[in-house]
Structure 1
């Protein structure tokens, strides 16, 4: 498993918010959904993406923009256009006064806007739920990531454009997987740009010493690793691995492993019904007590509290909202 595979190996998109937005000027939509990440790609016309802070971005056909939550932003025909609509948690669409807009702007299956033949068309894909494993990577992204049509070319985009408005059995699963593929393609292109400021652990994947060590830790988290055992497996000295790992990744090997194990455990607690004891052993702890101690020390809550919070909708945007949703 490499760095990008680790991003989506746990909580892949499930019931992601996907739609085609079709607009005719004047228009402006305020996005306050607090989603962890949203991908926007123009297929026709232009649109401004205006963040809460930082410079606005003009998206043209073929460009893709990734907005990293939870900060709000505005998507509009002009950079200074006043919003007429608000997208809240869970994809709930209203006027700025709170009046529902979903039905009045419904243009068909996963299609929404103010004009069926509008001059601007944007594909939107939003992950609604935080992913613990993705935290390291998402933290390395700017608030707005932009790849122009000249900087990248992805075969997934035409397929997503074709599939997004279909209404067939299993279509939501197809779209979830396409969104995952698109996100991986975007991140790979972003970090591989000339002069890109990729995170240290991403660059370390290509190192002949640290790369193999990282893959061993990620692929076999339950193994009783020590720095000496890891160094022997990689064919280097213990001191050499510890020094090189710290230089490139920014933390010792065992600290990295602890973070990886706890991220895996957090996802398993949210996504499965396995006992804390079973999860503890699956990610490399001797039992429930050891996992609970580490989990609470690092995350401030016990594993069971984390599971209960997730299932009660705490921290999941829109989990307790109803009505007015722009249905994907």
Structure 2
């Protein structure tokens, strides 16, 4: 069980990255299953499904998911994957699935997506009670959909944002160390310090030795802890973050390749280009040309 201090540290760093991700959501559909028994989703978006009034089966081959969802439960699928929802009991009345979609784009959105599990299921509790925030979320969504007025889309986007944060908080409260993630690693004070430094000062010449010293650990202990909780080495994590920022700087600014290399911590354009090719399979210039011609 994580203590309050650990959770506060996790919350501060996570929120800083989350708000920069500029996540936006909207209602995709409200399906009452009167004309069909099954829905198919092609994986264009990240999804939040809210299940109302009946039992449903959700399947996704890519995630090896075959879950039965009940009235009041919520399913968040951050990854863009094909999946289906089939109603199990269509003899009940007044049942539906509210589907919201959201975008996880850019350097910060991509980091959020990588830190989350394949899916988050917010179930009813053992005595059949739904999470307290689900009914008021559904009520707010239905109110905006039923009486659209000035600012309704902004309200719905904010409600979906809250729904996503509540779901992530639920996952964080229940997650075990079996799941490797930079988000969960934030609850470790030493690792959260290292992750904070890499995210806020990507241009600095970070090495495992320097990061270990910053976190008051030996080099071997720091590397071991980082690998065990995050699922990759500190240097690979740093490279991944730098490459995400590099794409942001290349596509959203007028910086030259040489300037971007310096911004993300590479002492030479050649070293930066090698790392970029290893990550994306093409040079920064080719990547930029392709993004412009899209």
Between the two proteins, the alignment pairs up a number of residues equal to: 271
Between the aligned partners of 1:244 and 1:214, the Cα distance in structure 2 is 13
**Alignment CA distance shift 1:48-1:246 (3 Å):** closer
Displacement of 1:41 in angstroms is 0.6
Aligned counterpart for 2:209 among listed residues 221, 228, 238:
228
**Alignment CA distance shift 1:282-1:10 (3 Å):** farther
Between the aligned partners of 1:261 and 1:245, the Cα distance in structure 2 is 18
Aligned counterpart for 2:114 among listed residues 120, 129, 136:
136
The equivalent of 1:66 in structure 2 is 76
**Alignment CA distance shift 1:181-1:261 (3 Å):** farther
Runs of 5+ in structure 2 lacking a partner? 1-8
The equivalent of 1:42 in structure 2 is 51
Q: Which aligned pairs between 1:141-290 and structure 2 lie closer than 5 A?
A: 141-142=118-119, 145-150=120-125, 152-154=131-133, 157-158=137-138, 159-164=140-145, 167-193=148-174, 195=176, 197-270=178-251, 272-277=252-257, 278-286=259-267, 289-290=270-271
Moved over 6 A (4+): none
Q: Tell me the C-alpha RMSD between the 2 structures.
A: 3.6
| Residues 157-185 of structure 1, C-alpha deviations (whole Å, 9 max, x = no match) | 24444445554455444433432332232
Between the aligned partners of 2:155 and 2:77, the Cα distance in structure 1 is 23
What is the DSSP-based 3-state SS (H/G/I as helix, E as strand, rest coil) of the residue aligned with 2:51? strand
Higher relative contact order (CA 8 A, sep 6+): 1
**Alignment CA distance shift 1:285-1:9 (3 Å):** farther
Aligned counterpart for 2:102 among listed residues 111, 127, 134:
127
TM-score normalised per structure 1: 0.66
Runs of 5+ in structure 1 lacking a partner? 81-117, 314-328
**Alignment CA distance shift 1:152-1:264 (3 Å):** farther
